[in-house]
Amino acid sequence: MKPKLRLGTRGSKLALWQANWVKTALEARWNGLVVELSIIRTTGDKVLDTPLSKMGAEGHGKGLKGLFTRELDEALLDGRIDIAVHSMKDVPGELPAGIGIAAVPEREDPRDAFVSNGVRLAELPAGSVIGTSSLRRQVQLKHQYSHLTLVPLRGNVDTRLRTLEAGEFDGIVLAVAGLKRLGYTARITEVLECDVMVPAIGQGALAVVCRDQDPDTHARVSPLDHSPARTAITAERSLLRALGGSCQVPIGGLAKLQDAHLTIQGVVGSLDGSKLVTRQIQGPQADAATLGARLALELLEGGGREILGGIGIDGTSR
């Protein structure tokens, strides 16, 4: 096996935390292995003044798929790096040919967090300004809290927290996982349960990817795989593929495994928040992929097809 692995990562504080976690785990598992980090900027890192949902329509890069993964995958395929670490929620439903997910490490809390200066979400008065970059979060908040004003918010975790501290927002919504990994658990005002906010597909999980035709590297990385997390992610990503989801589509999904039994829920919402289609199904863990696809069908038949059909490439109504 190779004595050294080159690990590609984005340069944000959170991405580096994730990359260093994988580096430490691999070096602890394989005596003598050296893992070197290679920082690569992605399209999503370079363009910070445009909402994620609109970047494909405005000609940035090659569309919305892989905004935070594409350049890393290209470096992997041309041999500049051996592995890459992605936030699973950023990984498109279909990976580029020649790349596979070698490991899904144990998942962090997949839920969303509301962060404010102490006021809980349900206590906010009409007109309060909430920042979030996600259409998924926006439509679910609009559905339950139509009196709030939703404003797009880009930037890394620290940048978003600073905008809150500066008084630009009354609250912001971030992933629990990112806040915990960066040591900001105390900043969480409340964790949003799934009856309020269904998480993004893959949220809280990592994807360690490598070339399909690199069995040595795959063997190095595969011990980091966590079977329950892999099962849940398999179901969620099957749902993602069946719905054709990306940054401009307001969908969410979360699978939970208990005693070889898998429960998966999903949501599709209209841009104005007036319609929210939610479904939940259960089945054996061995049928994870099938369950995800079946849930997608139920969501589409329950009104999701009409909702998604009315959303354009720029994340606005057609």
| Residues 83, 16 within the same domain | yes
135 and 161 in a single domain? The answer is yes
Q: Which residue has the higher pLDDT, 50 or 236?
A: 236
Say yes or no: 122 and 187 in one domain: yes
Read off the pLDDT band of 41 (50, 70, 90).
confident
* CATH code at position 50: 3.40.190.10
Q: Tell me if 231 is assigned to some domain.
A: no
Tell me, yes or no, whether 211 and 81 share the same domain: yes
Given a cut of 60, whether residue 35 has pLDDT beyond it is: yes
149 in the same domain as 9 = no
Q: What are the tokens at 157?
A: 């975790």
What is the set of active-site residues?
90
The range of the structural domain enclosing residue 262 comes to 241-309
The answer to whether residues 97 and 136 belong to one domain is: no
Residue 199 lies in a domain: no
What is the predicted pLDDT for the residue at 26?
98
Asked if residues 173 and 201 have their Cβ atoms less than 8 Å apart, the reply is: no
Q: What is the pTM of this model?
A: 0.90
Total residues found in the chain within this entry: 318
Mean pLDDT of 151-158: 90
Q: Is residue 317 part of a domain?
A: no
| 184 plus 303 within the same structural domain | no
| pLDDT, position 274 | 94
Q: Is residue 316 part of a domain?
A: no
Same domain, 11 and 99: yes
Residue 169 maps to a domain: yes
Q: What is the mean pLDDT of residues 199-224?
A: 97
Same domain for 89 and 35, yes or no, is yes
* Residue 116: partners with Cβ closer than 8 Å, 6 or more residues away: 124, 164, 170, 171, 172, 189
- Do 66 and 215 lie in one domain? The reply is yes
> What stretches of the chain show up as alpha helix (H) in DSSP?
13-29, 43-46, 70-77, 135-144, 157-165, 176-181, 215-221, 227-243, 288-299, 305-309
% the chain with pLDDT above 70: 90
Question: Where does the pLDDT of residue 1 fall: very low under 50, low under 70, confident under 90, or very high at 90 and above?
Answer: confident
Looking at the structure, do residues 77 and 221 belong to the same domain, yes or no? yes
Q: How many domains does the chain have?
A: 3
Do 140 and 11 fall into the same domain? no
Q: Is the pLDDT of residue 316 over 90?
A: no
